[in-house]
């Protein structure tokens, strides 16, 4: 028996908006949310604005930021960390163009940034013996297929696919080649086995929530040896050159940057490092990312219309979490229609200031991508999920 008209729920009431919004709706995967409590005034108080980066104070601040990052990450003796131009992209390109060539190369590709490095290796550097081992979004290639004599290039965490390596155990301890790791959405959120890493790059705009434009390059002693003994068979732009007269330019790793850095961005980095140290260091930052990803996954596990793009829990990112819509009515649509559907959801959420910048990456399968790194509060993830349900229902009702 149907209810009287006065007792029937209206369509609007059936999908009422949640009462609580995330305190901070920024869930972008790069640039990422600022640390909790961030303010421009706090950064300005630390910034050497209008000063030369070669002056004593600014140079000391650059050196201090380098030393503090190295200490927080637990770099082994002999590893070097430097600030370089052009974000993580610039840092990784520096390493590839300067070091690759004397050995075979295995490129591991399972998302768009790894695919970009493979394109550089095969079409720009035109390396003679270069294999590209690929996997679909949400999966990893066969890690056991790497050659111990080869240099290995890979992303630790696939920013655009949400798939990460489970550990570093698959890399031989007695490898002959170098490992070049793009860890921009992993470092400060996932452990790094430094014994298995020769080059690691990142940008502090990711897990630290800093300003964009600058990259960080970390070199092992084996990487330094490669730089000092290998002369690339190609011209190198000035911003890629890390040696002079066959010796490493040590100043790069002591605050003497190759080009002019933004001292505002450096102050923003210092502010983020202050925060990481204040919450308990690297382990605390990793724990925060894990808690955020766990809260989002718990909602996915009880929500029938959505799944993690990565089926294997061991491979799921704890930072750039990628979601795919599995509701039968939406999954039956073609790719363009699915993309339009997710864009509708994104617009609805943005209009409500409930979530900003959570659309999936343009090259990834249609879906959503939610940043769960350390600068995000778990309470905001928990406040977000009812809004995701609301936006899905609204977008589906409009079909």
Contact 81, 66 (CB under 8 A): yes
Tell me what pLDDT residue 399 has: 94
**Spans of the chain, pLDDT less than 70:** 1-13
What's the rounded Cα separation, in Å, for the pair 316 and 26?
A: 21
In the CATH hierarchy, which top-level class contains the domain 40-276?
alpha beta
Q: What is residue 110's DSSP assignment?
A: S
pLDDT value of residue 4: 38
| Dihedral sign computed on CA atoms, order 116, 333, 26, 310 | negative
What DSSP character marks residue 121?
I
Q: What is the pLDDT of residue 7?
A: 37
91-138 confidence digits (pLDDT tens)? 999 999 999 999 999 999 999 999 999 999 999 999 999 999 999 999
Q: Tell me, what's the pLDDT at 12?
A: 44
Assign domain 5-38+281-397 to a CATH class. alpha beta
pLDDT for the residue numbered 333: 98
Neighbours of 175 (CB within 10 A): 18
Strand partners, 359: 368
Q: What pLDDT is recorded for position 118?
A: 98
The answer to whether the CB of 158 falls within 8 A of the CB of 206 is no
Task: Write down the domain spans for the chain.
Answer: 5-38+281-397, 40-276
- C-alpha 177/C-alpha 194 separation (Å) is 15
Cα 164 to Cα 321: distance, rounded to the nearest angstrom:
10
Q: Pick from 342, 398, 393: which is nearest to 15 by CA?
A: 393
pLDDT score for 3: 36
């Amino acid at each position: 028996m149907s209810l009287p008209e006065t007792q029937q729920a209206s369509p609007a009431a059936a999908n009422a908006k949640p009462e609580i919004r995330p305190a901070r709706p920024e869930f972008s995967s790069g640039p990422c949310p600022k640390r909790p409590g961030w303010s421009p005034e706090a950064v300005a108080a630390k910034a050497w604005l209008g000063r030369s980066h070669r002056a004593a104070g600014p140079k000391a601040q650059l050196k201090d930021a380098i030393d503090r990052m190295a200490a927080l990450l637990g770099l082994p003796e002999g590893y070097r960390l430097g600030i370089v131009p052009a974000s993580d992209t610039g840092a990784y390109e520096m390493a590839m163009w300067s070091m690759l060539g004397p050995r075979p190369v295995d490129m591991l590709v399972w998302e768009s940034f790894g695919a970009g490095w493979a394109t550089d290796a095969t079409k720009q550097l035109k390396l003679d013996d270069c294999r590209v081992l690929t996997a679909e979004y949400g999966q990893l290639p066969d890690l056991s297929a790497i050659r111990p004599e080869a240099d290995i290039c890979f992303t630790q965490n696939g920013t655009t696919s949400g798939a990460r390596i489970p550990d570093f155990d698959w890399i031989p301890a007695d490898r002959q080649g170098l490992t070049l790791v793009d860890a921009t959405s992993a470092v400060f959120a996932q452990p790094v086995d430094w014994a298995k890493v020769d080059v690691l790059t990142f940008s502090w705009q990711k897990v630290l929530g800093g300003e964009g434009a600058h990259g960080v390059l970390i070199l092992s002693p084996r990487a330094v040896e490669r730089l000092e003994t290998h002369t690339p068979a190609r011209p190198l732009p000035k911003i890629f050159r890390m040696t002079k007269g066959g010796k490493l330019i040590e100043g790069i790793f002591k605050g003497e940057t190759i080009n002019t850095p933004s001292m505002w961005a450096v102050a923003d980095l210092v502010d983020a490092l202050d925060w990481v140290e204040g919450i308990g260091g690297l382990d605390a930052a990793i724990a925060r990312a894990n808690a955020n990803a766990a809260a989002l996954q718990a909602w996915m596990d009880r929500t029938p219309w959505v799944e993690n793009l990565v089926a294997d829990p061991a491979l799921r990112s704890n930072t750039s979490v990628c979601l795919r819509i599995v509701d039968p009515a939406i999954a039956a649509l073609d790719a363009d229609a699915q993309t339009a559907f997710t864009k509708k959801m994104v617009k609805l959420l943005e209009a409500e200031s409930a979530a900003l910048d959570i659309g999936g990456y343009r090259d990834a399968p249609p879906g959503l991508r939610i940043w769960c790194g350390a600068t995000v509060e778990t309470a905001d993830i928990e406040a977000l999920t009812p809004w995701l349900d609301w936006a899905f229902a609204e977008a589906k009702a409009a079909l």
